[in-house]
Amino acid sequence: MLNALNIRNVVLIDRLDIGFAPGLTALTGETGAGKSIILDALGLALGMRGAKSLVRSGTEQASVVAVFTLPENHPAFAVLNEAGVDWDAAEDLVLRRTLGADGRSRAFINDQPVSARLLQEVGSKVLEIHGQHDGQGLLNAATHRPLLDETAGLHGEVTALGALWRAFQEAREHLDEVITRRENSEAESEFVRASLEELNRLDPVEGEEEALADERAFLMQAHKLAEKVASANAILQDGSGLEARLSAALGSLEQAIAGLQGGDQSEAVKLPLERSAGALERALIEMGEAASALDDAGQALNVEPDRMERTEERLFALRAAARKHSVNVDDLADLRTRLTAQLQSVENLAEEEQTARGALEAAKGRYEKAAKALAAKRAKAGKRLEQALACELVPLKMEKARFAVRQTMLDPDRCGPGGCDQIHFEVSTNPGTPFGPLGSIASGGELSRFSLALKASLASKDGPAAMIFDEIDQGVGGAVADAVGRRLADLSKGAQVLMVTHSPQVAARANTQIRVEKYEKNKATLTRLRVLSEEERTEEIARMLAGADVSDEARAAARALLQGE
């Protein structure tokens, strides 16, 4: 329940601290006293959007604190757990909001900074505010299906169906994307196939361009090199008989060395002769090696006549292919691999499309099955809601009215995340009259009572433990207003109910009555709340009955109302 409300610097309120009791509490007061300011301030504490105009003129900041006492298993604590906010079941839950004159706000839960969104989510779990225009919302058929789902507790099923709808749409989008890729790929496949055939014939190898360029440069000078080698070889092989002369000289020296006699003189001649012979022998060996090396060089330079042509053709073919595909020659091999994969992908797209179609049909089937099951639950919930409303309308003096929940199945192309059925409420307010939309059949007072009946039905579920009704008795009076008061009193037995009302019959049914009133302070008009005593309640209800001039008859009527007579 809502235990206390502390307001600072909100419009006409400079400082307000008030506690609330269980059961039914009525907030009354003259028009313009500031009842709407109280609701705006409370809404601020619950995370609703707050305009900077709420900040009292001349102050820098407004603040509102709402204190709640909740059972340990209350749904609000699950939200706090998920958000990582500390709480203690033995302590009150404190929601606080500040709003600066510049429009900036800050939110706190148990003095821990939180987002306004989290504050609003927690606020919706602990308190509901039902305005006098809720009946107008009933005129919008778009609100009927969510209302039925809320009444029937189908939030889990609706959430699950929304997830299946998104999966269905994602499967559809994936199939469309595959089809687009296949169509685009088929348009390019001929070029890819022709390019791949060309590269397969070319069979490029990474690093081949550099090797071919080196070979081409070598071949371009091979002819001149061959002429030089042949000239050198000719010199070694010419008819002057250099090798024969060297061999003859070596033979003569060997004979001379062999004919020397012993003695010191002979030794002095022998050593230089041997050196000369050794040098001639080495010269003959080197000449042989030189001739052999020249033969090897000649063999290497003896290239095929068309080798240069073949090298250039290969090099130019590689470079032409690279220019055609806007890549480097060394990237042709990688391009060939990528084109092969691309062509394979094109060939696999038909299979991928079939797989995507199968996934789409499966997702569609899961969605349609869940939508059908949800529609069936809604149909049953609609019957239960009709029965519940029939019971609720009797104490609201609408026992002759009938309420119907109409369910219409939609065409497949109109299905959505909420399902394939549409819900709208119809009423017949008098016997014999046909059912029709709320807006064309029900009056303003009847709409208020229908709204209260719906809220009463919702309150029987696991809703917030505290509710505020803002002039929901609008447009009714007399016995009907008394019936509304009685229903609100019954409703307060299971949940704390606060109501803003101008109806004396409704206010008389409250356990506690709080008067909202204006007063002057330092030449400023301010608003305050005051819990009324029994005597003050009599006077306030008499004022509500008679107006400014309260008579004894009005006081007597007020006492009768308070006594339930």
Supply the CATH number for residue 71's domain: 3.40.50.300
C-alpha distances out from residue 518 to 12, 18, 37, 53, 283, Å: 9, 16, 12, 19, 133
In a domain, 399, yes or no: no
pLDDT at 461 over 60: no
In a domain, 156, yes or no: no
Question: What is the structure's pLDDT at 401?
Answer: 86
Range 62-81 average pLDDT: 89
Provide the pLDDT confidence category of residue 223 given band limits of 50, 70 and 90: low
pLDDT at 433 over 60: yes
pLDDT at 300 over 90: no
Provide the pLDDT confidence category of residue 458 given band limits of 50, 70 and 90: low
In a domain, 67, yes or no: yes
Range 313-339 average pLDDT: 86
Among 28-37, 132-141, 193-202, 549-558, name the most confident range.
549-558
Asked if 261 and 124 sit in the same domain, the reply is: no
Our count of domains for the chain comes to 3
In eight-state DSSP terms, residue 433 is: P
Asked if 324 and 199 sit in the same domain, the reply is: yes
In eight-state DSSP terms, residue 55 is: B
Ramachandran assignment for 552, one of left (phi > 0), alpha (psi -120 to 50 degrees), beta (any other): alpha
Question: What is the structure's pLDDT at 370?
Answer: 96
Asked if 260 and 338 sit in the same domain, the reply is: yes
Asked if 527 and 555 sit in the same domain, the reply is: no
Three-state SS at 565: coil
CA 177 to chain centre: 21
In a domain, 549, yes or no: yes
Range 267-291 average pLDDT: 76
List the structure tokens of 182.
């296949």
Asked if 128 and 250 sit in the same domain, the reply is: no
Asked if 518 and 554 sit in the same domain, the reply is: no
DSSP, residue by residue, 143-169 = GHHHHHHHHHT-HHHHHHHHHHHHHHH
Range 552-565 average pLDDT: 85
Lowest model confidence (mean pLDDT) among 89-93, 125-129, 287-291, 362-366? 287-291
Q: What percent of the chain has pLDDT over 90?
A: 25
CB-CB neighbours of 59 under 10 Å: 13
Distance between CA atoms of 403 and 468, rounded to whole angstroms? 25
Distance between CA atoms of 49 and 116, rounded to whole angstroms? 9
> Residue 14: CB partners within 8 Å, gap ≥ 6?
8, 56, 521, 524, 526
Lowest model confidence (mean pLDDT) among 64-68, 291-295, 481-485? 291-295
C-alpha distances out from residue 558 to 48, 478, 533, Å: 37, 13, 14
Asked if 546 and 522 sit in the same domain, the reply is: no
At which of 343, 365, 393 does a domain end? 343
Question: What is the structure's pLDDT at 172?
Answer: 95
Range 151-177 average pLDDT: 93
- Give the bridge partners for 530, in sequence order: 515
In a domain, 126, yes or no: yes
Asked if 269 and 312 sit in the same domain, the reply is: yes
> Residue 222: CB partners within 8 Å, gap ≥ 6?
301, 303
Which residues constitute the domain of residue 542? 533-565
Residues 538, 543, 544, 549, Cα dihedral to 10°: 150
pLDDT at 502 over 60: yes
pLDDT at 299 over 80: no
> Residue 44: CB partners within 8 Å, gap ≥ 6?
10, 50, 54, 62, 64, 97, 99, 105
In a domain, 406, yes or no: no
> Residue 29: CB partners within 8 Å, gap ≥ 6?
35, 515, 516, 517
Range 356-377 average pLDDT: 96
Rg of the Cα trace of the chain?
Answer: 51
Three-state SS at 495: coil
Question: What is the structure's pLDDT at 187?
Answer: 67
In a domain, 268, yes or no: yes
CB-CB neighbours of 157 under 10 Å: 18
Question: What is the structure's pLDDT at 231?
Answer: 65
Lowest model confidence (mean pLDDT) among 195-204, 338-347, 493-502? 338-347
Between 140 and 262, name the one with better pLDDT: 140
Asked if 216 and 328 sit in the same domain, the reply is: yes
List the structure tokens of 514.
């709080």
Distance between CA atoms of 379 and 373, rounded to whole angstroms? 10
Question: What is the structure's pLDDT at 438?
Answer: 74
Provide the pLDDT confidence category of residue 327 given band limits of 50, 70 and 90: confident
Strands 496-500 and 112-114: unpaired
Provide the pLDDT confidence category of residue 442 given band limits of 50, 70 and 90: low
Asked if 194 and 327 sit in the same domain, the reply is: yes
List the structure tokens of 105.
């706000």
At which of 325, 343, 361 does a domain end? 343
At which of 288, 309, 343 does a domain end? 343
Provide the pLDDT confidence category of residue 488 given band limits of 50, 70 and 90: confident
Distance between CA atoms of 302 and 460, rounded to whole angstroms? 106
In a domain, 57, yes or no: yes
Asked if 554 and 471 sit in the same domain, the reply is: no
Asked if 519 and 543 sit in the same domain, the reply is: no
Distance between CA atoms of 276 and 251, rounded to whole angstroms? 11
Range 295-323 average pLDDT: 73
pLDDT at 444 over 70: no
Three-state SS at 418: coil
pLDDT, the chain, mean: 83
Strands 496-500 and 466-470: parallel
Lowest model confidence (mean pLDDT) among 2-6, 382-386, 452-456? 452-456
